[in-house]
Structure 1
Amino acid sequence: MASISARRLSKELSEIRSEGCPVGINLVQADDFATWLFTIEVMGESLYQGEVHTLQFRFDTSYPISSPAVQFVVTDGKQAPVHPHVYSNGHICASILGNEWSPVLSVVAVCVTLQSMLASCKKKERPVDNDRYVRNAPDNPKKTRFHYDDDTV
């Protein structure tokens, strides 16, 4: 019998493949129910106009009861967007990935939220504690207990 996680991810993937994603969001890879990759681009005028960033979703067997581990992909040639809630290692401080996660949220809904977070940003800068956080950060951003106190950027 398939796990709840596998059934839910199968349903989400089927919907993405049949209905497509919202404008600016593209499925890049979903070979299994462990890791998916999407690109997101902010549409319209914003500080991030023309930038395309890759998001990695990692799922455990508790999805959708627990949130996926979501981060921007950082490689030699690609950096995470410069944003007050995005660390240079790609980790994202967003309450919907932590204490405000809800099983009704989908992978596409997370992409849209992060796309909106970038679109509404007024100033490109790293979080104030970026260097310290990146030095000590776990591989999995879900293991970080972020403090959510600023939703105005």
Structure 2
Amino acid sequence: MTSPSASSRKALSKIASNRLQKELMEWQVNPPAGFKHKVTDNLQRWVIEVNGAPGTLYVGETYQLQVDFPEHYPMEAPQVIFVPPAPHHPHIYSNGHICLDILYDSWSPAMTVSSICISILSMLSSSTAKQRPADNDRYVKNCKNGRSPKETRWWFHDDKV
């Protein structure tokens, strides 16, 4: 889908590699409900299956997240996108980019892939309408040529969804 940013094309640091191996082992023992890691031989890119939670607009629907880890994870946030087709949601663009503060400005090295997944599921579950962001077409047009969502200056102004 989207090509990773220049920083995430570099090999993982020893710290990042150790942290991801630890997170992967924890995931295998205690995966977050509604998520399934699709096993590959690439520690730097995870593909995660997301199932819509019961009682929400997305119940019975399945989506895929692509998580690309930068060289200096967890000091730097991973790039997380939905592999199209992305869910219709006021904070998810049709190209899979997600407007969620913890993926950018509010990232903390204490966060994990599991905590990201839980936040995304919470965001999906709280939605009251299946619709694209108002600026979807303009944003997607501006993201041609593999632009990373981490290159976007996000404006986090809606905490209702």
TM over 0.5: yes
Instruction: State the distance in 2 between where 1:101 and 1:92 align.
Output: 14
Query: How do residues 28-67 of structure 1 correspond to structure 2 at under 5 angstroms?
Result: 28-67=38-77
Instruction: Give unmatched runs, 5+ long, in structure 2.
Output: 1-12
Structure 1 residue 139, shift from structure 2 partner? 2.9
- Residues 46 and 66, structure 2, Cα contact 8 Å, conserved in 1: yes
Identity percentage over the alignment? 44
Match of 2:156 in 1: 148
The CA RMSD measured in Å over matched residues stands at 1.2
AA matched with 1:16: W
Task: State the structure with bigger RCO (CA 8 A, min sep 6), 1 or 2.
Answer: 2
Alpha-carbon distance in 2 for matches of 1:16, 1:125: 31
TM-score w.r.t. the length of structure 1 is 0.92
What code does the residue aligned with 2:77 have?
A: S
1:80 paired residue number: 86
Structure 2 counterparts to residues 3-152 of structure 1, below 5 A: 3-17=14-28, 19-74=29-84, 79-137=85-143, 138-152=146-160
TM-score normalised by structure 2 residue count: 0.87
Is there any run of 5+ residues in structure 1 with no aligned partner, and where? none
Query: How many residues get paired?
Result: 147
What secondary structure, in the 3-state scheme, does the structure 2 residue paired with 1:102 have?
coil
Task: Give the CA deviation at 1:29.
Answer: 2.9
Report the residue type matching 2:17 in the other structure. A
Shift of 1:42: 2.3
CA distance in structure 2 between the aligned counterparts of 1:29 and 1:117, rounded to whole angstroms = 25
